[in-house]
Structure 1
Amino acid sequence: MRFLVLILLLVSSLSFAESKADAPKLTAPPQVEQLLQLSSEISSLIDESEKAKGSSKDVVRSQILNKNDEVRDILASLIAKKNSDKKLLLEQVNKQVIFVKRANKYLDEKSIIDQDALDKAKDADKLVALKSLEETRNFSTMVIRQEWQNYQWLEKLGEPSPQAVKDLTSKVEHRLEFMSASLIFDSEALELAKKQLKSGTEGETGSLQLTQVLTERLVESDTETLEQLIDVADQIGIDTAEFKKVLFEQTGNVTNDLLNSKVIWSIASGWTTDFKDWLLANLPQLIFKVFIFVLIIFAFRTLKNIVRKMVKKAVSAKNLKMTMLMQEFFISMSGKIVFGIGLLIALSQVGLNLAPVLTGFGVAGIIVGFALQDTLANFAAGVMLLIYRPFDVGDLVEAGGITGKVSHMSLVNTTIKTFTNEMLMIPNGKIWGDIIKNVTHEKVRRVDMVFGIGYSDDVEKAENVLNEIVAEHPSVLRSPEPTVKLHTLNSSSVDFVVRPWAKTDDYWDVYWDITREVKMRFDREGISIPFPQQDVHLHMVEKAIESNKA
């Protein structure tokens, strides 16, 4: 504020001192009297400020500023009236014109001094120097606004100044271009400061943080000054679409100005031009990178197929005795690992930073893990099935409450084909958490059967018949020896257990053939096969018959 008061003192010694001697003494309207009174008071305050010292001088200068604002308010009110003293108003407005010209000259010089002081200041003093520069810019914009108002007043009073308006327009355009370039430069410096802070060492953090804060303040100051200048330029009638575009691109602030068709067109044109320039500058390199990317992907895809074949050949070796699930797991994982490595190499060749990508995958893995807990549980169960190998593809099993042949296995689920030709997909978690019965795991199985004869039948004869039937069947193995023994004396039958051994593939053939042959031989040999029956004795009926006979 102090330097602006100095401006008033420089100007007022010329303008307001003259009004003190030449003020009209005729009776005037109240506002005119107030205007003259304020001019007189300003002259007196100027004389007083020359004698005052220290803080008293600052107080007097502040009063001069406030009274000059009152003068401008009264001038605006009087000029709006048609019956005001035109000569008096022209005199006062011309004094304001002189004041603004000298203020502009002073502020231009001081802006250069403040900028130079900011560039040379030490880090600890930069904020103070920046604040001084911000004040100079704000006052400069305010004075330009007042200058434009002065020329409007002169035009209303019949004395337009077209050349002065032209000069002001040129000056505002020049300042708009300078502040626009300054905002772009400081915004780029801010981005650079942020990058340096991220990659800086621990010892550099303090200095880099201070640099970032200073740059942020510079960007804020540039933005504020440019917004003020754009507002003044809009009043003057200058096309500000290009500068509003810069303001939007650098700050991202959405304002009503963006609804202007010129601003929208300027932004779209700027983006299109930037894209064309970028494309022309980077297209050859981009094409080369895409070619390298495709070449690496193709090479690793071919390598993946080769590795899969090699792993398949290795895990299929009979001496390893791997299950189909384990074989498929190693084959699949080998191909995916090779292709994944190739993809990372290809992405790095096109300039992609893999560190944030891998970090992102890690974070995404945690999120997916929480979202797919049941799937992960099934995966864990699949790994346990892979390790312990309770069954394999093609085995006949009872698992998860389902009986059938294993058709396909993965680390998440198992597909079982039932005897009724139904395909059932069972989660591995349900299979691992239940009893698993592998019917066809062993090559040889014992066929358990029970046959009963009546109590009146010949036990030895029945036992010989059963031994003959078992011995004659071609699929019954001689070793281990079959077992035919009298097992249980039931309530209505004498039961024999017949337990021949057969290959797993012949199990049901042996079961069905022996069962059929036992029935046919027992019938031929006159051996009965008892079945449950009950004798019902009706004693009441017999007594009734005897009483009737009597």
Structure 2
Amino acid sequence: MRHFIWILLFFSSLSFASEAQDLSHLEKINAEIARLKTESNSFSGSELAIIRVQQVEKNNELRSVLSQLIQEHDKTTKELLISEVNNQIGYAERSFAYLDKELKSKQAQLDKADIEHKLALQNTLKETRDYYYLSLSDQLENYQWLADLGESNEAQIDAFKLLIDQKIKFLSASLSFDASREQRLSDQLQHSSESEKSSLTLDHLFFERKVFNSTSGLEKLISIADQLDINTTDYKRQLFSTTGNLTEDILKFPVIAAILSNWISSGSNWLLKHAPDQLLKFLVFILILFATRLIARLTSRVVLKAVVQPHLRMSKLMQDFFVSMSSKLIYFIGILIAFSKIGLDLAPVLTGFGVAGIIIGFALQDTLSNFASGMMLLIYRPFDVGDLVEAGSVSGKVSHMSLVNTTIKTFDNQIIILPNSMIWGDVIKNVTHERVRRVDMVFGIGYEDSIEHAEKILAEIVDAHPAALKKPEPNIRVHTLGASSVDFIVRPWVKTDDYWDVYWDITREVKLRFDKEGISIPFAQQDVHVHFAKKDKKPKKPNPITEKIGNVIDSVRSKDS
């Protein structure tokens, strides 16, 4: 027990020593502040500003020591601390008076200055306001210190509450005005000409900074008002609406309710004010789109009638291209007009299309190559829709073509889509481009058969076929004397659509007539003559190496078996 008492006495002595040291430090700081106050009477201009900065720094140091003493105060130091706090209250009130005067002076300079100087003066005005808000915060702390010392003054606190309430209301109204002005200037910048943009940009920057400074000041005043139990729900909602920043206060129910109520109220007001106008714009938008559709259809029909004129000699591909592009162009123009009627500015949109076109052009070089090849195919018309072609290593019927690719349906009914660059860069064989084609066939007879007889039969078969044309005349000639046959070429001319029918019919009829007339159709044959070598009467001496190899082979065979 005795040891415990000694420990208490030891720590008590340390506490008294620390408190005495703080009191000594407090007296020293007060002496420094008094000296600086005396010196300030003999200075002016920038030198006076330096003295005032030193006074602020010393006062902050004094407040730090004072805060520590108030936390550890007792009856012996209470009166001294109350006196020091009252001095701080008086210092804060003198700061208010001085800063109010400075703010009015700088605001007057700001109002008279041109826009270039306003941006510079705006920073100095913000610094003065920050000092003012700091003084308000210090004054609140002074009243809290008095409450901790048991000397709370309700009249002073009520007056301070009224001051804060007036300041926060004025700053809120100023923020609303500056925010609306900044938004108006932002809208004007989007629709202004290049000559107007320079001055509008400076004005917009000025009000943008004013909004930022006002929101910063409002946040500080809200923090002070919350500690004084002033209702700040509407101000927190205003901060969220202006900045969009989520804070802990925004998540509180009253603030959320105020935000939702404001949104509903703003939405209702907007609907009542703009609904008829917007509804009319929407109806005009729909009518323009409907009219665009009708005009596009009518344009397609007119263009179709124009391009199918015989004297133009346009291919089906070219006709489809003009019809398609005419309707798409009408749709594009109609959509732009429709959007312009609902308030969309077309200049940025068209500029964006240009920039996007350049970017897409670099990204889709292969597609542009196909587009260029498609244009060349349309211009030179190597084939048309419905033609049988061999292009890009594919054979079939052209069923569709665009500026990027061509669709070919093969003979076994497969759909193959080829890029136009593959077709244009390869050999194009159009089988059905001409109305008349020659059927090339070769038939062979045996060497023992009569050439005149065979030639007569072939001519009768060709002449008897109804699809074989008389002009140009068919060509039937002995072509080659082959290894096992005498070959005839049979080349009748037919309409392109009858090509395969004539080919298959004549081939079948030649086989039937040759069999009936006793004319042979030879096929490739080969005679093989086998000669047996005679055995020698004297047996040869066996080769030891050959014999050894034979023994190895026999042993392997015996194992396999």
* Shorter-chain TM-score range: 0.7 to 0.9
Deviation, 1:182, is 2.3
Q: Which residue of 2 aligns with 1:486?
A: 478
Alignment pair present for 1:83 and 2:74: yes
Alignment pair present for 1:160 and 2:155: no
Deviations 1:475-504 (A, max 9, x none): 221111111111111122111211111122
Rounded to whole Å, the distance in 2 between the matches of 1:439 and 1:51 is 110
Alignment pair present for 1:390 and 2:385: no
Q: Which amino acid aligns with 1:343?
A: I
Deviation, 1:52, is 6.5
- The aligned runs of 1:137-286 (5 Å cut-off) are 137-193=129-185, 210-286=202-278
Shift in CA distance, 101/492, structure 1 to aligned 2, threshold 3 Å: same
Rounded to whole Å, the distance in 1 between the matches of 2:196 and 2:392 is 63
Rounded to whole Å, the distance in 1 between the matches of 2:107 and 2:355 is 47
Rounded to whole Å, the distance in 1 between the matches of 2:371 and 2:45 is 83
Deviation, 1:50, is 4.0
Deviations 1:80-120 (A, max 9, x none): 22414322322332233233333323433432232122212
**How many residues align structurally?**
517
Q: Report percent identity of matched pairs.
A: 51
Deviation, 1:507, is 1.8
Shift in CA distance, 279/537, structure 1 to aligned 2, threshold 3 Å: same
Rounded to whole Å, the distance in 1 between the matches of 2:208 and 2:412 is 75
**Aligned with 2:514: secondary structure?**
helix
Q: Gapped runs of 5+ residues in structure 2?
A: 1-18, 537-561
Q: Gapped runs of 5+ residues in structure 1?
A: 1-27, 545-550
User: C-alpha root-mean-square deviation of aligned residues, in Å?
Assistant: 3.1
Q: Which residue of 1 aligns with 2:491?
A: 499
Rounded to whole Å, the distance in 2 between the matches of 1:246 and 1:140 is 22
Rounded to whole Å, the distance in 1 between the matches of 2:407 and 2:57 is 90
The answer to which of 302-311 and 76-85 deviates more is 76-85
Q: Which residue of 2 aligns with 1:473?
A: 465
Deviation, 1:49, is 4.5
**Aligned with 2:489: secondary structure?**
strand
**Aligned with 1:539: secondary structure?**
coil
Deviations 1:6-38 (A, max 9, x none): xxxxxxxxxxxxxxxxxxxxxx94444544454
The answer to which of 195-204 and 482-491 deviates more is 195-204
Deviations 1:401-432 (A, max 9, x none): 22222233333333333322333333322222
Rounded to whole Å, the distance in 2 between the matches of 1:424 and 1:504 is 24
Rounded to whole Å, the distance in 2 between the matches of 1:542 and 1:55 is 137
The answer to which of 289-298 and 337-346 deviates more is 337-346
Rounded to whole Å, the distance in 2 between the matches of 1:298 and 1:203 is 39
Rounded to whole Å, the distance in 2 between the matches of 1:499 and 1:63 is 116
Deviation, 1:294, is 0.7
Q: Which amino acid aligns with 1:328?
A: D
Alignment pair present for 1:445 and 2:437: yes
Q: Which residue of 2 aligns with 1:522?
A: 514
- The aligned runs of 1:316-355 (5 Å cut-off) are 316-355=308-347
Q: Which residue of 2 aligns with 1:463?
A: 455
Rounded to whole Å, the distance in 1 between the matches of 2:194 and 2:415 is 63
Q: Which residue of 1 aligns with 2:358?
A: 366
The answer to which of 32-41 and 157-166 deviates more is 32-41
Deviations 1:505-536 (A, max 9, x none): 22222222222222232233332222111222
Deviations 1:335-383 (A, max 9, x none): 1111221111111111110111112222333333344333333332222
The answer to which of 170-179 and 193-202 deviates more is 193-202
Shift in CA distance, 280/467, structure 1 to aligned 2, threshold 3 Å: same
Deviation, 1:283, is 0.4
Rounded to whole Å, the distance in 1 between the matches of 2:304 and 2:195 is 55
Deviation, 1:234, is 3.0
Deviations 1:453-485 (A, max 9, x none): 222222222222222222222222111111111
Rounded to whole Å, the distance in 2 between the matches of 1:460 and 1:308 is 63
Deviation, 1:236, is 2.7
Shift in CA distance, 141/538, structure 1 to aligned 2, threshold 3 Å: closer
Q: Which amino acid aligns with 1:78?
A: L
**Aligned with 2:312: secondary structure?**
coil
Rounded to whole Å, the distance in 1 between the matches of 2:132 and 2:517 is 129
Q: Which amino acid aligns with 1:309?
A: R
Given the two structures, how large is their TM-score scaled by the length of structure 2?
0.83
The answer to which of 509-518 and 198-207 deviates more is 198-207
Q: Which residue of 2 aligns with 1:74?
A: 65
Rounded to whole Å, the distance in 1 between the matches of 2:413 and 2:34 is 112
- The aligned runs of 1:92-131 (5 Å cut-off) are 92-123=84-115, 125-127=117-119, 129-131=121-123
Rounded to whole Å, the distance in 2 between the matches of 1:529 and 1:417 is 37
Alignment pair present for 1:408 and 2:391: no
Match of 1:425 among 413, 417, 420: 417
Given the two structures, how large is their TM-score scaled by the length of structure 1?
0.84
Rounded to whole Å, the distance in 2 between the matches of 1:515 and 1:372 is 52
Q: Which amino acid aligns with 2:99?
A: L
**Aligned with 2:490: secondary structure?**
strand
Deviation, 1:394, is 1.9
Shift in CA distance, 321/339, structure 1 to aligned 2, threshold 3 Å: same
The answer to which of 337-346 and 254-263 deviates more is 254-263
The answer to which of 449-458 and 299-308 deviates more is 449-458
Q: Which residue of 2 aligns with 1:11?
A: none
Shift in CA distance, 381/92, structure 1 to aligned 2, threshold 3 Å: same
Rounded to whole Å, the distance in 1 between the matches of 2:57 and 2:535 is 140
The answer to which of 246-255 and 160-169 deviates more is 246-255
The answer to which of 55-64 and 323-332 deviates more is 55-64
Q: Which residue of 2 aligns with 1:9?
A: none
